[in-house]
C-alpha cells in the first residue's frame, strides 16, 4: 500500500479544473476552480479546494473532507456542504491557479526564469502534494488542447517524441505572491544562486516580481547582484527603494561600481544618496565621480592597499589582514611615500615569502607599470596584455597614485567588443 502510494498516480493540476465536487448522496457541491496549497512545507500539501457553486459563488472547502479523487470528479464525505466557507488563505498558502499557473517562477536548478504551464500533483504518504512544475511545450499544448494532435504529427513526421519538461518543486522559487518572499533571504531557494545568475534572473523577471525579489535580498547579496546587473536595470531596481537602504547597499559595493551606478542616476538623486552614505565611502565615490567613465580615472577603484616604504613586511601583512575584507585589490601592495607618490609595488606572494622584519622598500619592485588618469581604454588594455597584470595603478602627472584598475573592470570594458 505504501509503495503504491509512493509511486502513485500523478495528476495535472489543470485537469482538476472544472471537475465536479460530489458528496455521498450524489449531490453536486460545485465545480473546482482552484486548489489551495501550503507552500511552507517541503512537499506542499493541497489543503483546500475552491469551488464555484450555485450562482457562481466561490467557496472554500478544506481538503480534509475529500474522500477520493476520481478521474472526472472529487468525492467528498457527507456533511461537507455545511462546512463550505468564504475564500480565504492563511499566510504561506497559495491559490495554485491564481498565484502560480501562467506566472513567472525561478528555476534555481537551471538558473533561469520560466512560465508555469501546469503543475503536477502526486500522492505522497496519503497526501496530495505539489511535486513538479511543468514548463515544457507538452504542458503548453495540453493546456491548449492540441497535445495529441501535435505529438502524433511530430512523431509521424520526424519520429521524434516531444519530451516533458518538468522541474521538481524543490528547485523552484515562486515569486508571484508577496508573502512568499517574506522569508529570510537565506531560507529562500534564491540563496543558492550565484550573484551573477541572480542578476540575470532579476533582469528576466517582470517589474513587480523583480522589485519583490530584489527587496528580499540581504545587503551583501543586493550589492553583489547590483554590481552584476545591467546599468538600466540597476537604476530601475533602486529607483523606488528608500534612500537609507540604497546607501547601505552602495557602501557594500566596490567604490568603482558604486560610482558607475551613481553616474547613471539623475544628479539630485545621486547627491541625496551620497549624503546618506558613510563619509568615507562617499568620499571615495566623490573622487571617482570627477573622472570620465571612458578613461583610466573612471575605471579605477580607490579601494586598494598601500604602505609607506619603511613599513616592515610583518606590519604590512597585519594591516592587510585587517583591511582585506574591504579591499577591491589585495594581490598587489603599493608603496607610497609621504607625498603620495607611487615608489614601488610588491605582490602578495613576495610579501608572504619574505623576511617579516625586512622593510618593504627592500623587496619592492621600483619600476611599476602605471596608467595616467586620462589614458583611454585601449591604452589600458594594451598595458594589461603586454605586462600580464592583474591590476594596474593609476597615477597623476606628479606620479601620485589615485587608484587601481582591476582586471575585472577592464574585462567589463572590453567585453562588448568581444562579441
Partner 1 sequence: MNVRPPATTPRTESQKTPRSRQGYWRRLAVILAVIGPGIITSNVDNDAGGITTYSLAGSEFGLRLLWSMVPITGALILIQEMSARMGVVSGKGLAALIREQFGAAVTFYLMIGIVLTNLANTVAEFAGVVAALELFTVPRYYSAPVAAFLVWFLVLKGSYKTVEKVFLGACVFYVAYIVSGFLSKPDWGSVSREILTPRLDFSTAALTMVIGLVGTTIAPWMQFYLQAAIVDKGLSAKDYRIIRWDVIVGSVTVSVIAFFIILVCAITIHTHGIHIESAKDAALALVPLAGKYAADLFALGLLNASLFAASILPLSTAYTVCEAFGWESSVDCKFEEAPQFYILYSLMIVLGAGLVMIPNAPLIPIMYFSQVLNGVILPVILFFMIRLINDPSVMGEHVNGRLANLFTWLTAVAVSLLSIVTVVTAVW
Binding-site ranges for partner 1 (CB under 8 A): 101-104, 112-117, 135, 140, 143-145, 204, 206-208, 210, 232-233, 235-236, 239-240, 283-284, 287, 290-292, 297, 302-308, 311, 315, 319, 323, 327, 336, 340, 373-374, 396-397, 400-403, 419
Nearer to partner 1, 32 or 66 (CB): 32
Residue 396 CB, shortest distance to partner 1, in Å, is 6
CA distance linking residue 139 with residue 166, whole number of Å: 9
State the minimum distance, in angstroms, from the CB of residue 117 to partner 1: 6
Instruction: End-to-end CA distance of the chain: give it in Å, rounded.
Output: 58
Copy the grid coordinates of residue 392.
594596474
Asked whether 302 and 287 are in contact (CB, 8 A), the reply is: yes
Nearest to 361 by CA among 307, 409, 415, 401: 307
**Gap between the Cα atoms of 216 and 229, Å rounded:** 16
Closer CB to partner 1, 183 or 327, in the complex: 327
Rounded distance between C-alpha atoms, residue 231 and residue 33, angstroms = 42
Minimum distance between the CB of residue 170 and partner 1, rounded to whole angstroms? Answer: 20
3-state secondary structure of 342: strand
In 3D, which of 303, 307, 234 has the Cα closest to residue 273?
Answer: 234
Question: Nearer Cβ to partner 1, position 115 or 194?
Answer: 115
Residue 401, C-alpha cell as written in the block: 597614485
Minimum distance between the CB of residue 311 and partner 1, rounded to whole angstroms? 7
Q: Hey, is 201 helix, strand or coil?
A: helix
For partner 1, the closer CB: 140 or 191: 140
Looking only at the bridges linking them, the beta strands covering 332-336 and 306-307 are parallel
Shortest distance, position 31 Cβ to partner 1, whole Å: 16
CB of 382 to partner 1, least distance (A): 20
Instruction: Tell me the Cα Rg of the chain.
Output: 30
Q: Which is nearer to partner 1, 154 or 235 (CB)?
A: 235
Query: Looking at beta carbons only, is 84 or 140 nearer to partner 1?
Result: 140
Distance CA 69, CA 122 (A): 11
Report the nearest approach of partner 1 to the CB of residue 18 (Å). Answer: 12
Say which residue the cell 610588491 belongs to.
346
Query: Which one, 66 or 100, has the nearer CB to partner 1?
Result: 100
Q: CB-wise, 18 or 126, nearer to partner 1? A: 18
Angle at which helix 255-264 crosses helix 231-239, to 10 degrees, equals 80
Q: How far is Cα 74 from Cα 13, in angstroms, rounded to an integer?
A: 13
CB of 205 to partner 1, least distance (A): 10
For partner 1, which is the closer residue by CB, 121 or 394?
394
CB within 8 A of 132, min separation 6: which ones?
A: 119, 120, 122, 166, 167, 168, 169
How far from the centroid of its chain's Cα atoms is residue 207's Cα? 14
The least distance separating partner 1 from the CB of residue 79, rounded to whole angstroms, comes to 33
Amino acid at each position: 500500500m505504501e509503495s503504491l502510494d509512493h509511486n502513485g498516480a500523478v495528476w495535472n493540476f489543470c485537469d482538476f479544473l472544472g471537475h465536479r465536487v460530489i458528496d455521498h448522496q450524489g449531490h453536486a457541491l460545485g465545480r473546482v476552480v482552484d486548489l489551495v496549497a501550503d507552500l511552507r512545507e517541503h512537499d506542499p500539501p493541497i489543503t483546500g479546494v475552491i469551488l464555484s457553486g450555485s450562482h457562481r459563488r466561490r467557496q472554500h472547502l478544506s481538503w480534509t473532507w475529500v474522500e477520493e479523487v476520481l478521474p472526472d470528479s472529487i468525492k467528498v464525505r457527507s456533511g461537507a456542504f455545511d462546512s463550505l466557507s468564504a475564500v480565504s488563505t492563511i499566510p504561506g498558502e497559495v491559490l495554485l491557479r491564481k498565484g502560480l499557473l501562467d506566472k513567472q517562477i525561478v528555476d534555481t536548478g537551471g538558473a533561469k526564469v520560466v512560465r508555469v504551464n501546469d503543475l503536477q500533483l502526486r500522492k505522497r504518504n496519503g497526501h496530495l502534494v505539489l511535486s513538479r512544475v511543468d514548463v515544457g511545450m507538452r504542458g503548453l499544448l495540453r493546456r491548449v488542447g492540441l497535445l495529441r494532435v501535435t505529438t502524433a504529427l511530430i512523431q509521424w513526421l520526424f519520429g521524434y517524441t516531444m519530451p516533458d519538461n518538468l522541474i521538481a518543486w524543490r528547485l523552484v522559487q515562486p515569486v508571484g505572491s508577496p508573502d512568499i518572499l517574506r522569508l529570510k533571504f537565506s531560507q529562500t531557494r534564491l540563496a543558492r544562486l550565484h550573484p551573477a545568475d541572480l542578476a540575470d534572473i532579476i533582469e528576466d523577471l517582470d517589474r513587480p516580481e523583480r522589485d519583490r525579489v530584489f527587496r528580499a535580498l540581504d545587503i551583501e547579496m543586493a550589492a553583489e547582484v547590483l554590481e552584476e546587473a545591467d546599468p538600466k536595470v540597476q537604476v530601475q531596481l533602486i529607483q523606488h527603494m528608500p534612500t537609507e537602504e540604497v546607501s547601505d547597499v552602495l557602501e557594500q559595493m566596490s567604490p568603482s561600481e558604486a560610482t558607475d551606478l551613481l553616474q547613471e542616476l539623475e544628479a539630485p538623486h545621486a547627491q541625496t544618496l551620497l549624503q546618506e552614505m558613510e563619509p568615507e565611502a562617499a568620499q571615495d565615490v566623490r573622487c571617482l565621480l570627477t573622472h570620465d567613465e571612458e578613461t583610466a580615472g573612471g575605471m579605477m577603484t580607490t579601494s586598494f592597499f598601500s604602505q609607506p616604504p619603511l613599513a616592515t613586511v610583518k606590519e604590512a601583512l597585519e594591516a592587510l589582514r585587517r583591511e582585506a575584507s574591504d579591499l577591491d585589490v589585495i594581490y598587489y601592495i603599493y608603496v607610497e611615500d609621504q607625498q603620495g607618490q607611487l615608489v614601488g609595488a610588491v605582490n602578495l606572494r613576495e610579501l608572504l615569502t619574505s623576511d617579516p622584519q625586512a622593510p618593504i622598500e627592500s623587496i619592492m619592485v621600483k619600476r611599476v607599470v602605471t596608467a595616467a588618469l586620462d589614458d583611454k581604454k585601449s591604452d589600458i588594455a594594451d598595458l594589461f596584455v603586454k605586462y600580464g597584470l592583474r591590476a594596474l595603478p593609476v597615477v597623476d602627472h606628479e606620479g601620485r597614485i589615485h587608484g587601481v584598475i582591476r582586471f575585472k573592470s577592464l574585462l567589463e570594458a572590453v567585453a562588448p567588443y568581444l562579441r
